């Protein structure tokens, strides 16, 4: 059986963009970044926590594969990963014509592999989410909602680790 996938979104889970703009969350550092398509004269404020890299790598050590699942696409490898201590990771590409939000691209990429997906946007796309879940029946799938005002926490990773260890061999 192929390794389980750990799909990682940037904005929300790693960058708690919905936190109070005047109060950077504890443990986070401020970065000014201009991803592809962004005006470099007005970089985006991104809060990143350097402890996230080692936490996510611990999931990979549990027998999973880390994959970027973010609209940052390849910019996640050049801007986000180095800031939190992640090596270059595979990237799910969505392009500008993504149907069913990110779900159709994930469905194609995952090809029946178990997955846990850290993202903040699942509640925004209930119809698309249901479409995706219907196509994953019988495949271990966890859409792990992260509060975008708080971001990924150690207990989220610990919970995902326990879930991964409970997967059939």
What pLDDT, in 10s, does the model give residues 108-140? 999 999 999 999 999 999 999 999 999 999 999
Predicted local confidence at residue 96, as pLDDT: 61
| CA atoms of 45 and 31, how far apart (whole Å) | 6
pLDDT band at 38 (very low <50, low <70, confident <90, very high): confident
Task: Inform me whether the pLDDT recorded for 12 exceeds 90.
Answer: yes
Q: Higher-confidence residue: 38 or 12?
A: 12
Q: What percent of the chain has pLDDT over 90?
A: 83
Say yes or no to pLDDT of 49 above 80: yes
The overall average pLDDT reported for the chain is 93
What confidence score (pLDDT) does residue 2 get?
83
168 DSSP assignment: -
* Residue 64 burial by Cβ neighbours in a 10 Å radius (0-12, 13-18, 19+): buried
Q: Are 63 and 165 contacting, i.e. CB atoms less than 8 angstroms apart?
A: no
pLDDT single digits (tens) 71-112: 999 999 999 999 999 999 999 998 765 567 899 899 999 999
Confidence bin at 22 (pLDDT 50/70/90): confident
Integer Cα distance of 104 and 101 in angstroms = 7
Specify whether the CB–CB gap between 89 and 28 falls below 8 A: no
- The pLDDT value recorded for residue 37 is 84
Domains and CATH numbers, the chain: 4-165 (3.40.50.1000)
pLDDT of res. 16: 97
Query: Residue 60 pLDDT > 90, yes or no?
Result: yes
């Amino acid at each position: 059986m192929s390794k389980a996938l750990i799909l990682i979104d940037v904005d929300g889970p790693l960058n708690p963009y919905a936190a109070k703009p005047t109060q950077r969350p504890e443990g986070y550092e401020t970065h000014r970044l201009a991803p592809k398509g962004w005006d470099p004269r007005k970089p985006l404020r991104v809060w990143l926590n350097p402890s996230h890299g080692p936490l996510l790598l611990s999931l990979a050590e549990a027998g999973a594969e880390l994959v970027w699942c973010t609209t940052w696409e390849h910019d996640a490898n050049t801007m986000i990963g180095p800031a939190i201590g992640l090596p270059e990771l595979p990237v799910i590409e969505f392009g500008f014509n993504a149907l069913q939000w990110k779900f159709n691209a994930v469905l194609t990429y995952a090809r029946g592999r178990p997955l846990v997906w850290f993202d903040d946007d699942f509640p925004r796309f209930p119809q698309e989410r249901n479409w995706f879940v219907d196509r994953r029946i019988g495949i271990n799938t966890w859409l792990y909602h992260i509060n975008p005002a708080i971001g990924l926490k150690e207990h989220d990773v610990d919970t995902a680790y326990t879930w991964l260890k409970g997967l059939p061999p």
